[in-house]
Amino acid sequence: MSETFPEIREAVRKLCARFPGAYWRELDRERAYPTAFVQALTEGGFLSVLIPEAYGGSGLGLGAATAVLEEIHRSGCNGAACHAQMYTMGTLLRHGSPAQKEAYLPKVATGELRLQAFGVTEPDAGTDTTRITTFARRDGDRYIVNGRKIWISRAEHSDLMVLLCRTSPRDEARTSAGMSVLLVDMRRARGNGLTINPVRTMLNHATTELVFDDLEVPAENLLGEEGKGFRYILDGMNAERILIAAECIGDARFFIDRASQYAKDRVVFGRPIGENQGVQFPLARAYVQMTSASLVVDHAAALFEAGQPCGTEANMAKLVASEASWFAADMAIQTHGGFGFAEEYDIERKFRETRLYQVAPISTNLILSHVATHVLGQPKSF
């Protein structure tokens, strides 16, 4: 299977070789942020591939970004610590004013500023984004923000956050109207109207709850037009789904690579376990599923780069890639037997990490609902 962007992939592999399993296992035990890894990616220019050259980035397309994240995950590393910097930046790039882009994008490209937090989900809204209640009230040259967000990753490690909030009450006739996007300076906000509460989960994902209590945000930090924020966020969500699908492809490759090698090396009953079709066939099926899913991801990325509608394709890419990675993860555990549960093999860590992607950033069932209603013309089920 030929690889796209071979030079980028090789460079990412070399960088990831500096951060072996032991590095990630230590972080996992301490629930620590991979600062050194993120800094290395930043210095290598990998987190600014989508930022135009005019602002200090590489100006490449989404295909290059998928190659970066796929190789990070295939190498046994994890791009979740920083992948938001790629797709969240797009909201600023596409909808920010010239002054906003000039002020922030060059510093994001160099790593002087981290734009890694994406504040959308709320406790009482979940994936029904039109029901968010976090409200930003205009007061002269500022907005006063009150409300809560949940499952917001990297908030403790980001300088900036793209925040979706209501600026007018929900209108049942136009549910997606009345939402706006603010660029929040986390350095100033924390302790001054913003409280960040860590949420401990089964994986080291730096997940938090955010509480806004009369947080003041300058009106000049409004991205685009007031009331049109929902559409702006949807633009970023398509990129997010495609990039995370690429991470899933990388995870699947990791599991297949490790399990295939183990099946050749592990000798039971006097022969390698890979001689048994009961071991071979799951490996082969995992490879087939991963290869098929990668083609769907490439197609979605190509549509996105061409500026074509790709909501359905982005959703389908995320679904098939997450299912391919989960099957490969299960197969890798089964192939390794008891050793699959041992920390030193890194299978159990990656097993926990890749399970997330059938739930976030959008669940498998909601993707199926989207395809049923938007493609097959079925009546809405909710």
| CA nearest neighbour of 35 among 347, 71, 26 | 26
Residue with tokens 């100033």: 188
Residue with tokens 């199926």: 368
**CB 202: neighbour CB atoms within 10 A?**
9
Q: Which of 70, 240, 247, 353 is catalytic?
A: 240
- The verdict on whether omega for the bond into residue 34 sits within 30 degrees of 0, i.e. cis, is no
| CA nearest neighbour of 259 among 282, 278, 288, 293 | 282
Q: Report how far residue 148's alpha carbon sits from residue 210's, in angstroms, rounded to the nearest whole number.
A: 6
Q: Report how far residue 51's alpha carbon sits from residue 113's, in angstroms, rounded to the nearest whole number.
A: 14
DSSP state of 114: -
Burial-class residue 95 by CB neighbours within 10 Å (0-12, 13-18, 19+). buried
Q: What angle do CA 41, 45, 49 make, to 5 degrees?
A: 110
Tokens of 68: 């970066």
Helix (H) or strand (E) holding 29: helix 21-30
Q: Which residues of 226-246 are buried (b: 16+ CB within 10 A; e: fewer)?
A: bbbbbebbebbbbbbbbbbbb
| CA nearest neighbour of 322 among 381, 243, 257 | 243
In sequence order, which residues have a C-beta less than 8 Å from that of residue 43 and are 6 or more positions away?
A: 111
Told to judge if 240 belongs to the known catalytic residues of this protein, a careful annotator would answer yes
Q: What angle do CA 154, 328, 38 make, to 5 degrees?
A: 25
Please tell me whether residue 210 adopts helix, strand or coil conformation: strand
The residues annotated with a catalytic role in the active site are: 240
